Amino acid sequence: MRHYKKGRKLGTSASHTKAIKKNLVNALFINDRIKTTLERAKEIRGDVDRIVTWAKRGDVHSRRLAIAALGDKDLVAEIFTKVDQGLFKDRPGGYTRIMRLGNRRGDAAPIVIMELVQEPVVKKGTVAEPAKKSVISRVTGKGKTAKAVDTVVEAEEAVVEEPTGELVEAVSEIAVEEAVIEEVVADEAAVAEGEAAEVVAEVVAEETQETEDTDK
């Protein structure tokens, strides 16, 4: 019986399984994403969460525990620095994500991509609820709310039907600018046509002169 020996065996000896898990956790923190089998990804998920929890504590004891688990002081220092700067700040757990890719050819082992969840936590209803309330208040408003909505709608309709003097002046200025631009474009086109005609006339004259010289 396997008393006091929790976890998956992964088809290897105890020392080999320990080394595999340690290397996978190191690779995940270095690259932020690894490709492995489903069983191995599930097996190291608890180790990754434990190290992130130690990094959130940030004390000397937690740092020593992380160094003992990973065996790399520089990597542990990098993890603790990122967490101290705000990584996983509002996330209470679940620091990894597993995405299935299908079965591997040969032994049909399920292959997955495991990555660190670095997106900020967005609480449910923080964005959708205010918009929903505003729509409900406009549609089913009662009392003062309904009167305020009607006043706003009437003001918007008045602005649309009767434009202000500033709006009329702006529209007239835009029309004048468009007319000036059209005149400039027409002048440029006429100048270009005149220059092209002159060039064609010069080319024809040169060809005629060469022909006369040849006949002589």
Residue 164 has pLDDT above 70, yes or no: no
Confidence of residue 96 (pLDDT cuts 50, 70, 90): very high
DSSP class of residue 32 equals S
Residue 175 has pLDDT above 80, yes or no: no
Who has greater pLDDT, 153 or 78?
A: 78
Confidence of residue 170 (pLDDT cuts 50, 70, 90): low
Mean pLDDT of the region 9-19: 88
Tokens representing 120? 């900020």
Q: What is the largest CA-CA distance in the chain?
A: 119
Residue 85 has pLDDT above 70, yes or no: yes
SS (HEC) of 98-136: EEEEEECCCCCCEEEEEEECCCCCCCCCCCHHHHHHHHH
pLDDT of residue 7: 82
Identify whether the C-beta of residue 12 lies closer than 8 Å to the C-beta of residue 23.
Answer: no
pLDDT of residue 53: 95
Residue 131 has pLDDT above 50, yes or no: no
Angle between helices 14-31 and 73-84 (to 10 degrees): 50
